[in-house]
Amino acid sequence: MTTVQSPPAPPTAIRPRVVARTGLYAVLAANAAVVAYFFAQAGFASNALIVIGRLFGLYGALVMAFQLVLVARLPWLDRRIGMDRLTSWHRWTGFALLWTLLAHAVFISFGYADGAGVGPVTELVDLAETTEGVLRAIVALGIILVVGAVSARYARRRLAYETWHFIHLYTYVAVVLAFTHQVAVGTTFTASSAAKAYWYGVWGVALGAVVLGRLVLPLWRNLRHQLRVSAVVHESDNVVSIHITGRDLDRMPAQAGQFFLWRFLTRDRWWQANPFSLSAAPDGRTLRLTAKAAGDGSAALRHVKVGTRVFAEGPYGAFTALHRTRSESLLIAGGVGVTPIRALLEELEGHAVVIYRVSADRDAVLYDELRELAVAKGADLHLVTGPPVPDRLAPRELARLVPDIGDRDVFLCGPPPMMNAVLRSLGDLGVPKQQIHFERFSLAG
Ligand SMILES: Cc1cc2nc3c(=O)[nH]c(=O)nc-3n(C[C@H](O)[C@H](O)[C@H](O)COP(=O)(O)OP(=O)(O)OC[C@H]3O[C@@H](n4cnc5c(N)ncnc54)[C@H](O)[C@@H]3O)c2cc1C
């Protein structure tokens, strides 16, 4: 692939992120309206508690289907919204889903208990024993409660990514149980074959999206490109670059600023996939990642052998030239956050200023490359060193280094505290939000 030099979008164009977000909301709103229509059509022949409980159940299931689309990793959505934002929405709608389904169970139990003159727990046990599909729903809710608990920030930080992810996969079991429960006992669906067909359609699309984005596309791309490690370069004591070759790489739709989930098929690490950004713009012949040792998986990359097969899911991410709004740019990197910045510098058209923030000169990996690129492209490069405090990228410092900062797109990647400080500085300097683009090196936070 030849590097695409992407000019900024014309000022009148609707931003890609806004298009994708509006599309998602519109689809959700349209489906919410269809659900309400079928619900009303089925009639309200029960007491108010049961009616409210059923409505919670229907909307809970709709949110569940929407949840699947958010994490399906569909390229069109991912390039426009970004996996970080999609994952964050998935996280928050996940908690909303949990409360909606709990409300469904509580309202239904109280509603039926009211009619039968017994307590809600007795009624729930009775329903589970006598009504087809209710036990499945209780198991589904139990699974979702466990997934919700391990996804709470406190638990999430204490679990290895893989453990959390493995538990999370049980939601697919919950999805199947919940769906079969609904079509078996949901009055909206037992009353109307059109409603049933619609519901099968909704779930077919949602599950189809997951199968396509998470299974078919990655398998197809890896079969096609046959990726292998072609070189391993030690950049410093704890940073290594891995060069990867493969077939037809000019057909890989990757852009500077994007990342892949890399799985190196060695005997002891094939089970682990880690996200790493491209640290050079793809040139149609090779891909390169540069990884700092943060844990066992990234540290083991130093020992990967040339020739090792690689399974890569991606490219993912919206930290790309697609979102440009201005013809000039400011690229700010902190530490190993330099990887996508280095690739973007190669790809972006127009004048660029690069600020590379590190604690000491020796931490500035890829600096020589950055300097050569800056010279070749006529970009200004500033290496800013020193301890985190005092803040060397405070508003006054930034304005001094880049006086026309308000007229540039800003691309930012670095450690969270540095990024938060720079985002505050950019806000103080009045840089419009749509000109600020950033990549956080965490997805499931
Ligand atoms: C979009 C993105 C791009 C990144 N690019 C780079 C880069 O170019 N260079 C670089 O050095 N680092 C990068 N990182 C960080 C890098 O992914 C982690 O340092 C690495 O995965 C740590 O894995 P580990 O097995 O060594 O450590 P672990 O101790 O296993 O993991 C440490 C933390 O890394 C995160 N992590 C691990 N695996 C995954 C995964 N599959 N998905 C999401 N998060 C995971 C989790 O938050 C985990 O808690 C990037 C991260 C993201 C999200």
Q: Establish whether residue 275 lines the binding site of ligand 1, counting it when its CB lies within 6 angstroms of any ligand atom.
A: yes
CA 78–ligand 1 middle distance (angstroms):
18
pLDDT band at 1 (very low <50, low <70, confident <90, very high): very low
- Compare 247 and 167 and report the one with higher pLDDT: 247
> Ligand 1 in contact with 163 (CB < 6 A)?
no
Q: Ligand 1 within 6 A of 80 CB?
A: no
The pairing of strands 352-358 and 286-292 is unpaired
- Number of Cβ within a 10 Å radius of residue 294: 12
Give CA 211 to chain center in angstroms.
16
Indicate the angle between helix axes 16-41 and 48-70, nearest 10 degrees: 150
Please name the residues in contact with 1: beta carbons below 8 A apart, sequence gap of 6 or more: 249, 250, 251, 252, 254, 282, 283, 284
Atom index in ligand 1 nearest the CA of residue 297 equals 25
- Provide the pairing of β-strand 228-236 with 239-245: antiparallel
Assign 3 a pLDDT band (cuts: 50, 70, 90).
very low
Average pLDDT over residues 66-94: 94
What's residue 2's pLDDT? 42
Q: At what angle do helices 134-151 and 83-116 cross, to 10 degrees?
A: 140
443 alpha carbon to ligand 1 midpoint, in Å? 8
**What pLDDT does residue 7 have?**
61
Record the tokens describing residue 259, joined without a space: 């990342």
Mean pLDDT to the nearest integer, 340-366: 96
Is pLDDT above 70 for 54? Answer: yes
Q: Which atom of ligand 1 is nearest to the CA of 316?
A: 1
Would you give the distance in Å from CA 210 to the centre of its chain? 13
pLDDT at 356 over 50: yes
Ligand 1 site, residue 276, Cβ cutoff 6 A: yes
Count, residues in the chain: 445
Ligand 1 centroid distance, CA of 314 (Å): 15
For residue 116, the model assigns a pLDDT of: 84
CATH class given for the domain over 226-316: mainly beta
Residue 382 has pLDDT above 90, yes or no: yes
Name the residue with the closest Cα to ligand 1, atom 39: 274
CA-nearest residue, atom 28 of ligand 1: 295
Does residue 288 contact residue 278 with C-beta atoms inside 8 Å? Answer: yes
Atom of ligand 1 nearest to the CA of 339: 8
Pocket flag, ligand 1, residue 250 (CB < 6 Å): no
CA angle 318, 321, 322 (to 5 degrees): 65
What integer best gives the mean pLDDT of the chain?
A: 92
Pocket test for ligand 1, best of 153, 159, 233, 298 (most atoms within 8 A of CB): 298
- Looking at 3.40.50.300, 3.30.830.10, 3.40.50.80, 3.30.200.20, the CATH number of the domain 321-444 comes to 3.40.50.80
The whole-angstrom separation of Cα 380 and Cα 403 is 13
pLDDT of 10 > 80? The answer is no
What is the CA(240)–ligand 1 centre distance, in A? Answer: 14
- Domain limits, the chain: 16-221, 226-316, 321-444
3-state secondary structure the chain: CCCCCCCCCCCCCCCHHHHHHHHHHHHHHHHHHHHHHHHHHCCCCCCHHHHHHHHHHHHHHHHHHHHHHHCCCCHHHHHHHCHHHHHHHHHHHHHHHHHHHHHHHHHHHHHHHHHHCCCHHHHHHHHHHHCCCHHHHHHHHHHHHHHHHHHCHHHHHHCCHHHHHHHHCCHHHHHHHHHHHHHHHCHHHHCCHHHHHHHHHHHHHHHHHHHHHHHHHHHHHHHHHCCEEEEEEEEECCEEEEEEECCCHHHCCCCCCCEEEEEECCCCCCCCCEEEEECCCCCCCEEEEEEECCCHHHHHHHHCCCCCEEEEEEEECCCCHHHCCCCCEEEEEEHHHHHHHHHHHHHCCCCEEEEEEECCHHHCCCHHHHHHHHHHHCCEEEEEECCCCCCCCCHHHHHHHCCCHHHCEEEEECCHHHHHHHHHHHHHCCCCHHHEEEECCCCCC
Pocket test for ligand 1, best of 163, 169, 292, 441 (most atoms within 8 A of CB): 441
What pLDDT, on the 0 to 100 scale, is given for residue 380?
97
**By percentage, how much of the chain surpasses pLDDT 90?**
76
295 lines ligand 1 (CB under 6 A): yes
Calpha distance 216→246 (Å, rounded) = 19
Is residue 308 predicted with pLDDT exceeding 90?
Answer: yes
Counting atoms of ligand 1 from 1, which one is nearest the CA of 83? 1
Q: How confident is the model at residue 444 (pLDDT cuts 50, 70, 90)?
A: low
Distance, CA of 242 to CA of 301 (rounded, Å):
8
pLDDT in tens, 129-183: 988 889 999 999 999 999 888 888 888 888 888 788 888 889 889 988 988 888 8
The pLDDT of residue 376: 96
207 C-beta neighbours (distance < 10 Å), count: 18
Confidence (pTM):
0.90
Q: Does residue 273 have its Cβ closer than 6 Å to ligand 1? A: yes
User: Ligand 1 within 6 A of 381 CB?
Assistant: no
CA of 56 to the centre of ligand 1 (A): 37
